[in-house]
Chains A and B, each alone.
Chain A
Amino acid sequence: MATATKGMFVDTTLCTGCKACQVACKQWNELPMDDETAVREHRAFTANSYDNTGHLSASNWRHVKFVEQFSEDRVDARWLMMSDSCKHCEQAGCLEVCPTGALYRTQHGSVDIHQDVCIGCRYCVGACPFGVIDYNQRTGRVNKCILCQDRLEDSQGTACAKACPTSSLTFGNVDDLKAMAAERVRALHARGQTDAYIYGWDLGNRGTITQGPNKGAAVADMEVVGGLNVFYLLLDKPEVYSLPSSPQLPQRNMNPSAGVALISAAVLGVTGLAAFRRRRMEAVAASSEVSS
């Protein structure tokens, strides 16, 4: 039985950069250290603020970003932190291109991966506009945050949100989280923090950046690829957080004047896709029978 769509609200104004979410994620999902040899041989230190894991990967399903914004005279002094993961998009590029149905939409609205169905083709890696999904060299399959699917089935929230000491990460029904986010942006604006806006859904907030290189620029809530079920409250332009300002799914970029060759290729492709799609629908049906 379908349930309300579950997701997370990431309020970056409350993030202290403690990385408890990263550790909780690895602990619950039994993910290995990224590269022990690099640590032992002193090659892991990045000198990039307090970030030594760099990006999301097959073994890092969560990643805390650190952005230092200090003017030369230190009048502007801001250290932004943001805990990033898969956004479980409403229009999920990874899911749409997956030829085997390994990537599927769960009854909670999240995007999970059947590891035993994944063939390691990596179409999804290129199809994700956020660089979330990663090929796992060890298993030959892809990995990403699966919104703690096993915990959700036991009516528990995500491990990262559970570990977050300051409630920067909140797990819940997306509808409730949206209401909470709208309230939070209003409260911040009332305090003079007019930078605050929502990345993922358009809840109608408009503001102005108060600090840093983009001071004075307008910001506004933005709906992203049909809405993000893991969405963010930001204080600066998306690109400051290494988030795309106008993300597109690659499959929307098909150029209609690309010529006959492409059309014939497309015909073949559509035929193939149709076959794959049928299999995927069956897989989805099967999985919801099992898990509902």
Chain B
Amino acid sequence: MQFSDWIVFMGSNMAECHPVGFKWPMKAKANGATLIHVDPRFTRTSAMCDMYVPIRSGTDIVFLGGLVNYILSEKKYFLEFMINYTNAATLINADFKDTEEGDGFFSGYDAKTRTYSNATWQYQRGPAPARVPEAPAGAQGQSVKGVNFAQLIANRLPGVPKEDRSLQDPNTVFQILKKHYARYTPEMVERISGTPKELFLKVAQVITENSGRDKTGVFTYAVGWTQHTTGVQLIRTAGLIQLLLGNVGRPGSGIKALRGHAQVQGATDISTLYNAHPGYLNTPNARRAHDTLRDYILTETQPTSFWSNTPAYVVSQLKAWFGEAATADNDYGYDWLPKITGDHSHLPTFVEMSEGKIKGMILTGQNPATSINSTFQRNAMRNLEWLVVLDLYETESAAFWKAVAGSDPAKVATEVWFMPAAHIAEKDGTMTQTSRMIQWHDKAADPPGQARSDLYFWYALGKKLKARYASSTATKDLAIKHMTLDYDPDPADVAEWKHKDEPSALRIFKEINGYEVATGNVLNTFGALTADGKTAAGAWIYTGALQLIDGKVVNRARMTPGKNDGWVSPSWGWAWPGNRKQLYNRASADPDGNPWSERKKYTYWDATAKTWKNVGGDGIDFAPTKAPGAAANPTGIGIAFHSGRDPFILKTDGKGWLFAPVGTVDGPIPTHYEPWESPVKNLLYKQDRNPVAKFWDVTGNKYNEFGGVQFPHVITTYRLTEHHLSGAMTRWLPWLAELMPDLFVEMPPELADEKGIANGDFVTVTTERGSTEARALVTRRLRPLTVDGKRVYQIGMPWHWGYMGIATGDVANNMTSLVADPNVTIHEAKAFTADIRKGRAR
């Protein structure tokens, strides 16, 4: 980011929520970059920026779509980048119908199931290569022994996508985009978002005038973009802008996803998600063609992208999990894995809990008692027979049964165990940062008393389960029975002062990284992984992450502070995949492999050495010796299907997707819908809300009337620098508790005057789900907006508080509802409606 020429913070309050990383934008500013903050509130981030741009929460797609329209209509796109590196010229099926024709619906919508079929969203293609006759798949359960995956994958190669590089055909993505965004004018942005037109145009000028061959810029977002019923599409809109402007894969470019906490990246990589196995391999699903390993591999393998290597990653993963028990004859234990049947994410799981369908829960690093529609979640927890909480303090969730939580302890039958956990400084292990960078850390001290690491808990639990199932022959028990669970440390490696009963995090890291089965030797690259059971790797993207010198992990130690290895710092941590700090960095060179400009030189083709090189030693995110002039091979598997000019090796056509034929369930192009709860109608289409958003019509989760008068104000929730998440690590700490002691609600003085509220007063904020009491913080940092000619107030509330700890307060999430983005089931806590009054709640 230090080399960005402009930075737009949007959906992110980086200075407050990622204060340490914020030094890089500050360096960019010192280097002359323009910093812009687009946000409902003037925050500590706005204070550091050159421009603050107000916006009504939840209307980001109008604002960003307005930028797309500006870029297309004013011809501000980086033509050479766009036409070569994106699917702008690709032809889409002529039956595709845009939301302009469907008044808010794309073609393929089924009103009964509230889902889309993406059949009409596909590319027009030439004929597929000739097929080779396949041996019959055989009965279910047949082993993959002897199966030729390469041939089966080749048989699934599609035809080459059709293009019109003149961009004139109405079916080109370029023309479809132009039509789709034509009404997202500066005037429309002002009417819907409340952003003054002049400010919007200033942003448009800054980012377009400072992009191109010689300049780059970056969008920075966090949960302010994700927590919407349109969250995924919202982020995609920024992707469109960056692809049109040529801001991908280059120094100072991209879209920086600031994760909600330091280890979220690692948690998704190594799967706390129900629908992904480590390394982003889809969890076997009973509703997909995943019956056997052969079916699974053929369903999941993309023949024309880097994902063509899926068989090696899947088999190596099974080998890591089941060890010697995994053989070609038994499909490496694939049949032992449980399959999912639907959405098992947080919100639907708690709905099931509220229906008494879930008996027990183990909570670690989570505090649902203060989470989305927290009253609903606390009520749901009362249906549990048992609850185990691993945490540093007795959190709101551990105490959900107490009177302080609004429960009658005599009526709660749940048996609760509280297990004292270890803090990060008390554990060995790795942390994966937002930049995909993995760093090893040694513990600084043992946790006190009986507190132990989470690793200790799960390892001990796993060993007990294995002992229980040791003699079982039932198929459902075989996964536990055959699971490799051998992480006892070598006693010689455990320092004198350390607990002796902790499992070895290093041995687990080795299994995730991968090793050769015959020798146990650590593997350095996912290129070494095979689909024949000779290699084992828990997560292919981490292969190479474990760097050992004389048996010592050196991820961090290789770099001496103050004597680093240049700004790319390839030896500082290790970024997956293959230590590539900048993804898709082939795009930093022009189609012929030359740098776009000397100023933005990064990865380039060395014609003499016939290899790609990088100025700072970064990993090449491309086939290292594939020449820029290499032609695409229509019968080639994987990235051989792409030409030497196609940087996006994980996409099936090697292009950046302005139009997404697959991958998003709510449309191929981002479209503005109002938040699920909004004071105003959708001014662009008849359809107000995302038609396929997930909602739950259950008791205790009533939604506010749409466009109604009972809850007239837009409300957003957020965090502060002084606290973290639900406060479970901060409200108990005296030095942080005193910095932000009480829950407050920020509001503009214009609204406070109307309501007779003075700064510091107790106020009550209400929605259909409940009310929250807070102190008023009346400030001009918030401002009334004019939306479609009407005055709209926005108020905001941090959600760190709860009823336990030193600094206590009401739970802001008493007011939020279970409603979510249809792609990823992330709730909408950044934009909903509420009313506010002076006085205490109870």
Q: Which residues of A contact B (CB under 8 A)?
A: 14, 16-20, 22-23, 26-27, 32-36, 38-40, 42, 44-47, 49-50, 52-53, 68, 70-72, 74, 77-81, 165-167, 187, 191
Contacts and interface: CB of A to CB of B under 8 A. Distances in A.
A26 B735 CA distance: 7
A220 B205 CA distance: 35
A68 B779 contact: yes
Contacts of B47: 16-17, 78-81
B44 A16 contact: yes
A77 B52 contact: yes
A52 B740 contact: yes
A23 B733 CA distance: 11
B46 interface: yes
Nearest to B50: A191
Contacts of B44: 16-18, 50, 79, 81
A79 B736 CA distance: 22
| Residue among A16, A23, A49, A52 facing the most chain B CB atoms (10 A cut-off) | A16
B523 interface: no
A74 B740 CA distance: 26
B759 interface: yes
Contacts of A46: 760
A46 B759 CA distance: 9
Given A45-B741, A49-B779, A20 B19 contact: yes
Q: Is the interface of A mostly helix, strand, loop or mixed?
A: loop
Contacts of B19: 16, 18, 20, 165-166
A211 to B, nearest CB: 12
B477 interface: no
B632 interface: no
A45 B781 contact: no
Contacts of A44: 738, 741-742
Contacts of A16: 15-16, 19, 22, 44-45, 47-48, 721
B806 A79 contact: no
A77 B51 CA distance: 10
Given A47-B776, A79-B781, A18 B759 contact: no
Across chains A and B, which 5 residue pairs bring their CB atoms closest together, nearest first? A47-B760, A70-B780, A33-B734, A45-B742, A44-B741
23 contacts: A16-B15, A16-B16, A16-B19, A16-B721, A18-B16, A19-B722, A19-B739, A23-B736, A33-B737, A39-B737, A40-B806, A40-B808, A49-B779, A52-B740, A53-B739, A70-B780, A71-B780, A72-B780, A74-B783, A79-B44, A79-B47, A81-B44, A167-B26
Interface residues of B, number: 43
Given A18-B721, A78-B47, A79-B44, A53 B738 contact: yes
Contact of B741 (A39, A74, A166): A39
B46 A52 contact: no
A53 B722 CA distance: 13
B807 A14 contact: no
Contacts of B808: 40
B63 interface: no
Given A45-B742, A53-B738, 6 more contacts: A18-B19, A36-B738, A40-B806, A47-B775, A70-B781, A79-B42
B584 to A, nearest CB: 29
B26 A14 contact: yes
Interface string B767-788: 0000000011111110100000
A38 B742 CA distance: 11
A16 B30 CA distance: 15
Nearest to B776: A47
Nearest to A184: B30
Contacts of A36: 734, 737-738, 806
A92 B152 CA distance: 83
B243 to A, nearest CB: 31
Nearest to A49: B779
Contacts of A23: 735-736, 739
A41 to B, nearest CB: 10
Contact of B739 (A22, A165, A166): A22
Interface string B450-478: 00000000000000000000000000000
A42 B759 CA distance: 15
A228 to B, nearest CB: 24
A173 to B, nearest CB: 18
B596 interface: no
A77 B721 CA distance: 21
B739 A45 contact: no
A71 B15 CA distance: 23
B549 interface: no
B735 A165 contact: no
Contact of A68 (B22, B30, B744, B781): B781
A191 B33 CA distance: 11
Contacts of A191: 32
B738 A35 contact: yes
B780 A165 contact: no
B518 interface: no
A42 B761 CA distance: 12
A26 B775 CA distance: 27
Contact of A74 (B26, B48, B780): B780
B548 interface: no
Interface string B784-813: 000000000000000000000011110000
B445 to A, nearest CB: 15
B780 A52 contact: no
Contacts of A35: 738
A166 B23 contact: yes
B20 interface: yes
A39 B20 CA distance: 27
| Residue among B44, B46, B47, B808 facing the most chain A CB atoms (10 A cut-off) | B47
A33 B780 CA distance: 30
A140 B32 CA distance: 51
